[in-house]
């Protein structure tokens, strides 16, 4: 958000609504953010806050009602099939559930061979096999053991690594990771997060990391966006936002993160239902004004 480099993807006041009046749901309201190569943007918020809607907008799974996506300086055109195919090649997704996002009937090698055949046309025969091995090694899986296996023979963490390799096989420049570790065991989570960090650094990938676990967001991301009710309520440098939250909703969210230092019996830790409702109410009101806290830390005006 405050880097001098050119953003690879920019969302400019993108809105998405579902249904029609009077049952209209504003899932994303004038959402703007930028993704930069080699940086991770974390998108946090509770369920229903619009974070997955944003992911789907980035994936072009939804067409925005308003606003536009600017990819490498040019608006993404829906009419131009070739440009759109190029866009889809560059923007890849890692899903939350590693148990259902691989085809159970195919081997791991097949999962990687298909995107290579389709998207890297210059590779022939043996080169493809070599590339599969290279990809699996990059995600720290042993090709000799893993390539001939089927998904059910792998653990959740291994499957998520295969998913990461698959995005690379297509030739992704932007990876959208929707809660990639929430279904993994705690002991393998960090391994997957480290891998994402490493790839971001080595391959200059731009990462959009969607989560409701702020602690893991801090582990992988440089920038953060906090969403509530389809709006971005606070954004900026992740350490500044976490250490000095200014928006009431961000404060509420951070105060509810489990902290072993504070017992539930402690009155300080006690959330009052009335306060929570009040924060939710004022945070849901649309407001176009933003307040600058620091040069890379902003909040949406409340009240």
Out of 30, 83, 254, 302, point to the residue binding other proteins (CB under 8 A): 254
| Phi and psi angles of residue 175, each rounded to the nearest 5 degrees, phi first | -115, 125
By three-state DSSP, how is residue 144 classified?
A: helix
| Site for other proteins contains 122 (CB under 8 A) | no
A 10 A CB-CB count for 101 gives 17
| Site for other proteins contains 161 (CB under 8 A) | no
| Site for other proteins contains 208 (CB under 8 A) | no
Q: Which is nearer to other proteins, 113 or 297 (CB)?
A: 297
| Site for other proteins contains 193 (CB under 8 A) | yes
| Site for other proteins contains 263 (CB under 8 A) | yes
Out of 118, 215, 285, 288, point to the residue binding other proteins (CB under 8 A): 215
Distance CA 143, CA 300 (A): 48
Contact between residue 45 and residue 51 where contact means Cβ atoms under 8 Å apart: yes
| Site for other proteins contains 10 (CB under 8 A) | no
Out of 80, 137, 202, 259, point to the residue binding other proteins (CB under 8 A): 259
Segment contacting other proteins (CB under 8 A): 66-74, 84-92, 96-104, 211-219?
211-219
Contact between residue 229 and residue 287 where contact means Cβ atoms under 8 Å apart: no
Q: Which is nearer to other proteins, 113 or 189 (CB)?
A: 189
| Site for other proteins contains 189 (CB under 8 A) | yes
Here the tokens at position 62 are: 């939804």
Least separation in angstroms between residue 182's CB and other proteins is: 9
Work out whether strand 223-228 and strand 231-237 pair parallel, antiparallel, or are unpaired.
antiparallel
Question: Half-sphere exposure of 15 toward its Cβ, with a 13 Å CA cutoff?
Answer: 11
Contact between residue 55 and residue 93 where contact means Cβ atoms under 8 Å apart: yes
Distance CA 17, CA 57 (A): 11
Q: Which is nearer to other proteins, 92 or 283 (CB)?
A: 283
Binding site for other proteins (CB under 8 A): 46-47, 140, 185-191, 193-194, 212, 214-216, 218-219, 242-243, 252-254, 256-260, 262-265, 269-271, 273, 276
């Amino acid at each position: 958000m405050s880097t001098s480099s050119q953003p690879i993807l920019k969302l400019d006041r993108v809105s998405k609504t579902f249904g029609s009046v009077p049952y209209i749901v504003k899932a994303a309201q004038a959402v703007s953010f930028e993704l930069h190569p080699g940086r991770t943007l974390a998108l946090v918020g509770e369920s229903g806050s619009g974070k997955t809607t944003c992911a789907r907008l980035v994936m072009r799974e939804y067409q925005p009602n308003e606003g536009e996506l600017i990819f490498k300086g040019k608006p993404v055109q829906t009419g131009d099939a070739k440009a759109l195919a190029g866009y889809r090649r560059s923007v890849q997704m890692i899903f939350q559930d590693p148990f259902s996002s691989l085809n159970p009937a195919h081997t791991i090698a097949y999962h990687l061979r298909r995107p290579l055949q389709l998207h890297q046309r210059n590779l022939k025969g043996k080169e493809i096999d070599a590339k599969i091995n290279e990809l699996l090694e990059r995600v720290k899986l042993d090709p000799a053991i893993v390539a001939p296996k089927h998904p059910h023979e792998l653990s959740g963490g291994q499957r998520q690594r295969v998913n990461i390799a698959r995005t690379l096989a297509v030739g992704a420049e932007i990876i959208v990771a929707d809660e990639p570790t929430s279904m993994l065991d705690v002991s393998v989570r960090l391994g997957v997060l480290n891998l994402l960090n490493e790839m971001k650094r080595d391959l200059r990938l731009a990462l959009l990391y969607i989560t409701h676990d702020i602690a893991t967001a801090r582990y992988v991301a440089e920038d953060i966006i906090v969403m509530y009710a389809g709006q971005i309520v606070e954004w900026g440098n992740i350490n500044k936002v976490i250490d000095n939250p200014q928006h009431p909703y961000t404060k509420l969210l951070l105060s509810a993160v489990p902290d072993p230092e504070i017992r539930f019996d402690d009155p300080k830790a006690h959330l009052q239902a009335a306060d929570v409702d009040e924060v939710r109410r004022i945070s849901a009101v649309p407001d176009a004004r933003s307040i600058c806290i620091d040069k890379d830390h902003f909040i949406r005006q409340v009240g």
